[in-house]
Amino acid sequence: MAQHFSLAACDVVGFDLDHTLCRYNLPESAPLIYNSFAQFLVKEKGYDKELLTVTPEHWDFCCKGLALDLEEGNFIKLADDGTVLRASHGTKMMAPEQLAEEFGRKEWKYFMSDIGMACRSGKYYFYDNYFDLPGALLCARVVDSLTKQNNGQKAFDFWKDIVAGIQHNYRMSAFKENCGIYFPEIKRDPGRYLHSCPESVKKWLWQLKNAGKILLLITSSHSDYCRLLCQHILGNDFADLFDIVITNALKPGFFSHLPSQRPFRTLENDEEQEALPSLDKPGWYSQGNAVHLYELLKKMTGKPEPKVVYFGDSMHSDIFPARHYSNWETVLILEELRGDRNGKPEESEPLEKKGKYEGQKAKPLNSLSKKWGSFFIDSISGLKNTEDSLVYTWSCRRISTYSTIAIPSIEAIAELPLDYKFTRFSSNNSKTAGYYPNPPVVLSNDETLTNK
């Protein structure tokens, strides 16, 4: 494989929407998501009212890349070889002795080789994006509450109530019906929760379009919510930018399912219509699959193997499936890189918004968690008379395995020429080669990383 990657060499440029083209104001959106679930659990399912009170300190628990054992209520941070680096029961972190007793130096019980490792199962749940993270904090606090109520309860059965909360707040009709907490609040004041795309990004999108690239938008959000987001961040003419818009894509199934399992559907007034046997022309569709999409892209480009790149923020829904099932190039939007150079995240909102919204803020979810440490690496204690050694996290290894490059935001590359040559992640390059504009400080500063 070539050492470099260039957008100029791509025929098709695809984008996820949430946390990719559309950046959220995380200190505002995180409490809204948390509250949408907590209110449901307390009012509809009878959970402890303490769940409704969140302090700024609580948000330090949030860290991407954690797994929740749904039966035991344990949160797990994995090394790249599947061993457990850190763990908590609910929000209570396990001491090294407890960690050793509980997990030892062996693979976590649900760990499988990367290909077989699902991120969603009946036994565990991986938290890998900013929509998920407020739910991680809520679930941890639910475990605290149930453990306290039931004198050290060992088995937990709260997940069905979390799923019911998802159904209540985020089902397909929730936006139109104005039900739940999340959608009505976003509709009421989108500027509080969403960052408009900078002019540099808008110009860059038109530059891609004018260079003859086919532009795709593939989002798991429903069409009515997608339209609200796009109008707010890109303007009312956003539809002129994209040749194909696919909503309710139900990723990762969009990439992994057979066409017969996940046909495309047309939309009428945001309602899904009949299933289509194939995809014959550009337009706005719902659901669908990557196989039928690629057949259309062949027709549109006149090429037997058009080259596609896809930008997304979720390893589970975007990057892994697009690379593994469709063999697309992938650009990971990794906000943990934002402002990493000076040890703290960039300002998460413009200065003119400071002080506009009252109340206790969540810490930016892309900043370092004191409880969980770095998203990229962690240390394992050495044996007696030996030093601790640093190892890659499972999340970090997946980045270098399945991403072509990783960037903090689209804005970070918007002013580069389209033929700019990025150094890609590959087994021939260093583990930091694919990060642009800079690798995470913790990776570039340390030479002592080991592969266990």
Catalytic residues: 16, 18
The residues, any chain, with a CB within 8 Å of residue 368's CB and separated by 6 or more, are 343, 374
Q: Whole-angstrom Cα distance, residue 432 to residue 436? A: 9
**Tokens for 26?**
């995380």
CA–CA separation, 309 vs 274, rounded Å? 29
Q: Is residue 13 a contact partner of residue 7, using CB atoms and an 8 Å limit?
A: yes
Segment 47-50 long-range contacts (CB within 8 Å, at least 24 positions apart): 47/142, 47/145, 47/161, 48/145, 48/149, 50/141, 50/145
Work out the number of other CB atoms within 10 angstroms of the CB of residue 329: 23
Is 81 exposed, middle or buried (CB count within 10 Å of its CB: 0-12, 13-18, 19+)? middle
User: Could you give the CA distance from residue 90 to residue 73 in angstroms, rounded to a whole number?
Assistant: 6
Q: How far apart are CA 400 and CA 230, in angstroms?
A: 30
What residues are paired with 406 via a beta bridge? 332, 435
Closest alpha carbon to 311 in 247, 403, 235: 403
Residue 242 near residue 285 (C-beta atoms within 8 A): no
> Euclidean distance between the first and final Cα of the chain, in Å?
27
**Mutual angle of helices 159-170 and 133-149, in 10-degree steps:** 140
Cis peptide before 440 (omega within 30 of 0): no
Calculate the CA dihedral of residues 18, 123, 78, 408 and round it to 10 degrees: 0
